[in-house]
């Protein structure tokens, strides 16, 4: 199958004709070097003359191969959904998210929930989601904690765990005596000089530095807060080493999340509030990415990645509406 670059017609049409219905539609027209934007639009109309595509354009139906040919995009079979910032913010659900999830479940797609959270175990996270009214099964959740544990077992190392105490149950059975590796998640109570210096010395002595993720910041009820990324970067700088990252936006994380779904990345879409870790990572893995303006979203975030998001929506319910109306 040819390597494909998404062709996003609607923004081109919107900027030239004033069409579109608010929001930032699929990302950008064909780049210089392929057929011209106008020619691409005409080619798409010829291939799908009855497609109304008022908002999503033909981007959801066709791709432009690197050789310049039009090809049908594979049908959508899986939806990956971020949790904190997309479905909820701490103990508050995003308005309408529960009902939107119910609607999405009635569609012929597999749903997986993917999260970088290291503030709590998967069991505690599931209990929180259940209290908020979300119908989610434990086996539908794939966390960066799970990915980190898998790596520790694979490498057979004993980690110094810089994670929140509530996340420790996900590492039950992993030996931590006489550590020979350093694992960093979000652990505000551990990010003090003594502990960071202990991690620093272990890494200098050859211990691998494993970052559960490197998010710059995350959303709390009282505002944005520092994520583990700045602390991981500080250890990298001090030890002149590079961390192994296991969570989003790593391609392996997204591929692992799809395992068991029977889907390839081109048949999946990711919905999230983090332009880099959710949308950028998913699109690098071959999926489409929908950015929502909830959680940690900041104005103009969609301009921070290239290619830009397939679509930017106000919230998860709007993203679900787009999927149901334009991508199935």
Higher pLDDT, 60 or 151: 151
Q: How many Å apart are CA 16 and CA 12, to the nearest integer? A: 6
- Residues whose CB falls within 8 Å of the CB of residue 137, separated by 6 or more in sequence, listed in order: none
pLDDT of residue 220: 85
- With CA atoms as reference, report the closest residue to 229 among 267, 273, 194, 185: 185
Question: pTM to 2 decimals?
Answer: 0.73
Q: Answer for the pair 302, 291: CB distance below 8 angstroms, yes or no.
A: yes
Give the per-residue pLDDT at 118: 85
Residue 278 pLDDT: 97
For the chain, the average pLDDT equals: 83
| pLDDT tens readout for residues 289-303 | 999 999 999 999 999
* Residue with the larger pLDDT of the pair 317 and 219: 317
pLDDT of residue 67: 52
Region for 295 from its dihedrals, namely left if φ exceeds 0, alpha if ψ lies in -120 to 50, beta otherwise: left
Cα 311 from Cα 231, distance rounded (Å): 31
Phi, psi of 195, rounded to the nearest 5 degrees:
-70, -40
Given a contact cutoff of 8 angstroms between Cβ atoms, the answer to whether 148 and 162 are in contact is: no
Q: In angstroms, rounded to a whole number, what is the distance separating the alpha carbons of residues 31 and 34?
A: 6
Q: Please report the pLDDT score of residue 219 as a whole number.
A: 80
- Quickly count: other Cβ atoms within 10 Å of residue 255's Cβ: 13
In this prediction, residue 72 has a pLDDT band, given cuts at 50, 70 and 90, of low
Q: What is the pLDDT of residues 111-156, one digit of tens each?
A: 999 999 888 899 999 999 999 999 999 999 999 999 999 999 999 9
């Amino acid at each position: 199958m040819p390597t494909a670059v998404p062709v996003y017609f609607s923004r081109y049409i919107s900027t030239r004709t004033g069409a579109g219905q608010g929001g930032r539609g699929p990302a950008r027209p064909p780049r210089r070097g392929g057929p011209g934007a106008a020619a691409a639009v005409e080619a798409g109309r010829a291939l799908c003359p009855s497609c109304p595509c008022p908002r999503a354009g033909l981007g959801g139906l066709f791709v432009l191969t690197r050789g310049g040919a039009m090809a049908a995009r594979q049908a959508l079979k899986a939806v990956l959904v971020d949790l904190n910032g997309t479905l909820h913010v701490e103990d508050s659900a995003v308005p309408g998210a529960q009902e939107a999830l119910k609607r999405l479940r009635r569609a012929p797609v597999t749903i997986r929930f993917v999260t970088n959270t290291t503030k709590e175990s998967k069991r505690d996270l599931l209990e929180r989601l259940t209290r908020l009214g979300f119908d989610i099964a434990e086996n539908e959740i794939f966390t960066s904690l799970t990915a980190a544990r898998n790596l520790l077992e694979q490498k057979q190392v004993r980690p110094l765990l810089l994670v929140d105490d509530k996340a420790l149950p996900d590492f039950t059975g992993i030996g931590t005596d006489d550590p020979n590796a350093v694992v960093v998640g979000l652990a505000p109570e551990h990010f003090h000089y003594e502990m960071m210096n202990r991690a620093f010395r272990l890494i200098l002595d050859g211990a691998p530095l494993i970052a559960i993720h490197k998010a710059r910041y995350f959303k709390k009820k009282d505002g944005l807060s520092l994520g583990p990324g700045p602390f991981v970067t500080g250890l990298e700088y001090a030890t002149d080493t590079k961390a192994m990252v296991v969570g989003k936006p790593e391609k392996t994380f997204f591929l692992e999340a799809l395992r068991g779904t029977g889907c390839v990345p081109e048949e999946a879409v990711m919905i999230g509030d983090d332009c880099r870790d959710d949308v950028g990572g998913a699109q690098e893995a071959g999926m489409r990415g929908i950015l929502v303006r909830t959680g940690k979203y900041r104005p103009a975030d969609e301009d921070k990645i290239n290619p830009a998001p397939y679509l930017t929506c106000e919230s998860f319910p709007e993203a679900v509406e787009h999927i149901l109306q334009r991508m199935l």
